[in-house]
Amino acid sequence: MALLVPVGCTRLTVPLKAHVSLSRRRLAISAALSSGPKAMDWVEETSSFFENDSRPIMLFDGVCNLCNGGVRFVRANDRQRKIRFEALQSESGRKLLRRSGRAPDDISSVVLVEKHRSYIKSEAVLKIMEYINLPFPQLAFFLQFIPLFVRDFVYENIADNRYNFFGRSDSCEI
């Protein structure tokens, strides 16, 4: 089964399985429309971030006190300096969000961007834990057995209320 998506005077064919949900169809249409001649290759556009330094980049909300505390925590427990940091609100952060398939103004989640992959929400937190010092990689190993929908449910509830619980700062940690 394929979905025909009109684009200007041409049509794009987007292969879809019969059981694909409506939201996935919308994503396929959106991807097909954005892959036209005017679409930017954000992986290529941001490849310079990984040319001289292959360490992953942790994107965080620069005005969130919880997020800034998370950055301080990761820095304190990353003795080998395996992770770099960038605010979601910065120009580089916005580009890396695009690279990760997110909207450039989406500050709803921490994002970990590696050279060939990106992680969001609870997956980003677990991946960050794998990079920092003991005992966090071991803790991440056990937490991965909690179903993703449960981990993300907890993550989203904290993220949605982070300003109420922890407040905002006037400036970014970095």
Q: Is the pTM of this model over 0.85?
A: no
The SS3 call for residue 167 is coil
State the Cα–Cα distance between residues 85 and 103, nearest whole angstrom. Answer: 19
CATH architecture of 44-166: 3-Layer(aba) Sandwich (3.40)
The neighbour count for residue 157, using CB atoms within 10 Å, is 10
**Measured in Å, how far apart are the chain's first and last C-alpha atoms?**
49
pLDDT at 63: 93
Q: Which residues contact 31 (CB under 8 A, 6 or more apart)?
A: 14
**pLDDT tens for each residue of the chain, 174 residues long:** 444 444 344 344 444 344 434 444 444 445 544 544 456 788 888 999 999 999 999 999 999 999 999 999 999 999 999 999 999 999 999 999 999 999 999 999 999 999 999 999 999 999 999 999 999 999 999 999 999 999 999 999 999 999 999 999 877 766
pLDDT at 18: 40
Tally the C-alpha atoms within 13 A of residue 37's C-alpha that lie toward its C-beta: 3
pLDDT at 102: 94
State the Cα–Cα distance between residues 131 and 56, nearest whole angstrom. Answer: 9
Contact 100, 113 (CB under 8 A): yes
State the Cα–Cα distance between residues 43 and 95, nearest whole angstrom. Answer: 9
Compute CA 174 distance to the chain's CA centroid, rounded to the nearest angstrom: 19
pLDDT at 39: 61
Dihedrals φ, ψ of 23, to 5°? -65, -35
State the Cα–Cα distance between residues 68 and 108, nearest whole angstrom. Answer: 14
DSSP label of 116: S
Q: Checking DSSP bridges between strand 57-60 and strand 84-87, what pairing results, if any?
A: parallel
pLDDT at 5: 40
pLDDT at 84: 97
Domain boundaries, the chain: 2-39, 44-166
Cα three-residue angle 75-73-172, rounded to 5 degrees: 80
